[in-house]
Structure 1
Amino acid sequence: MNDARTYLEHDWYAGGIPANVVVEKDAYIETSYGFDRLFSERQPGLILGNASGAYHRTVFALGPKGRIVVGAYTCLNDTNLFCNDSITIGAHCLLAWGVVLTDTWMESDVPITVRRAVLQAAASDPYRRLPPISTPRPITLEDNVWVGFEAVILPGVTLGRGCVVGCKTVVAEDVPPYAVVVGNPARIIRFLEPDDTDAVRDRALREYGRD
């Protein structure tokens, strides 16, 4: 095929990777199936950082104005990302299967007339794209964040460096660095000792250097 898409030799899906996706060195994509709902018109619309990975059927669903940035050495394992504005994921993060990140949500006070209009707009779109029903709010995951399976990260949330989100947790507010949160709504159950800071790394290098 002679077009701007990139095709993976090992891929079972023939859709290919859109031209506005930047795949940095050693990044791994298991299948291009996850880009089937990528409608971003931004350049680039998606960046997969160095040695990051999109495994199984990780889904990148982006509206026309959406952009997702995935940091180096981050693993997305059957993760679902819905973006109409911005999702930024730092380096060395791990997102388990079934995790949902969405920067857009349907608020409970949206009038039924607005909901009906949005559904009618989707019905007339050849790609069945659902327009945002509320104002998108960016999501940010700082470095070294772990998110357990089937957790949901809602619009406007920042997950601080080194925090851990338990399985099936629903996060609607910011999580501080190195916090462990569980439940719906998410609550902090403990804080971890920071072990990934520059100071700790430098000390470890000095100690190993003595051998």
Structure 2
Amino acid sequence: MIFDARQLSIGAHTYIRSDTKLSTVSSIGRFCSIGNHCYIGQEKNTHPSDWLSTHPFQYTGTALSYEPVISNVTIGHDVWIGHGAMIMEGVTVGTGAIVATRAVVAHDVPPYAIVAGVPAKVVKYRHPPQVIEMLLESKWWECDIGFLQGLRLDDPEAALPEIISKRQDHLASYHQLEITRKGCRTMPSAQAINP
């Protein structure tokens, strides 16, 4: 895995498979599943498309300069990104979304949408609109896993009322880790987080 991101927040229980590159990414939520060989944060405008040429000879060793504006990718919670997918810089992938294998995502993905293709388009949604609204309201990804495992996870409509009514009593708390080139350390317990 290659990290080019300057500062990146990755939520609890998220996993990222091998040979994935994280470039211009600011945050990845909790419970995300990111496949092999993905490229997240591919820059869109590395060459000037509205100049005489797209080649860098125009601004290399000349008075001209070209510095594209780059914006970060944000990935919500419970997002599944399939093998070999590419997400362009500046995209927000909504909570609960699924990005199909080898999809190229150039535009924001709504919560709980399934996108596929080149360019990626919404194929369908994982749940009906009223269930999506309840899932987002529940913020289930902030709950303790032990509490969640005691619910009907195979039937969101049955589990959601209990999550919503008991959520505050079952919030998970995690220590924040700082990972740098010099190593890894646990932040002081006063900084335990639950975002």
**TM-score normalised by length of structure 2:** 0.59
Q: CA deviation at 1:118?
A: 7.2
205 and 135 in structure 1: CA distance in 2 versus 1, 3 angstrom threshold: closer
Partner of 1:44: none
- Deviation sequence 1:83-105 (CA, Å, 0-9, x none): 3xx52111111110011111533
Partner of 1:100: 39
Which structure has the highest helix share of the two? 2
Amino acid at match of 1:67: Q
Structure 1 stretches of 4+ moved >3 Å: 110-114, 116-120, 194-197, 199-202
Partner of 2:56: 115
Partner of 2:162: 203
113 and 159 in structure 1: CA distance in 2 versus 1, 3 angstrom threshold: closer
Amino acid at match of 1:203: E
Q: CA deviation at 1:110?
A: 5.8
- Deviation sequence 1:31-84 (CA, Å, 0-9, x none): xxxxxxxxxxxxxxxxxxxxxxxxxxx11024xxx221111111011221113x
Residue 175 in structure 1 maps to residue 109 in structure 2: yes
Matches within 5 A, 1:117-132: none
158 and 205 in structure 1: CA distance in 2 versus 1, 3 angstrom threshold: closer
103 and 113 in structure 1: CA distance in 2 versus 1, 3 angstrom threshold: closer
Number of residue pairs the alignment of both structures matches: 134
Amino acid at match of 1:163: A
8 Å CA contact 1:118, 1:133 repeated in 2: no
8 Å CA contact 2:47, 2:56 repeated in 1: no
Percent identity between matched residues is: 26
Residue 60 in structure 1 maps to residue 3 in structure 2: yes
8 Å CA contact 2:23, 2:42 repeated in 1: yes
8 Å CA contact 1:139, 1:157 repeated in 2: yes
CA RMSD in angstroms, aligned pairs only: 3.0
Structure 2: distance between partners of 1:134 and 1:140:
19
Residue 74 in structure 1 maps to residue 30 in structure 2: no
Structure 1: distance between partners of 2:9 and 2:42:
13
Structure 2: distance between partners of 1:179 and 1:80:
23
Q: CA deviation at 1:203?
A: 2.0
* Gap runs ≥5 in structure 1: 1-57, 121-131, 207-211
Structure 2: distance between partners of 1:176 and 1:70:
20
110 and 89 in structure 1: CA distance in 2 versus 1, 3 angstrom threshold: farther
136 and 163 in structure 1: CA distance in 2 versus 1, 3 angstrom threshold: same
Amino acid at match of 1:151: A
- Deviation sequence 1:139-197 (CA, Å, 0-9, x none): 11011111001100001100111000000000000010000000001111111124855
**TM-score normalised by length of structure 1:** 0.55
Amino acid at match of 1:61: D
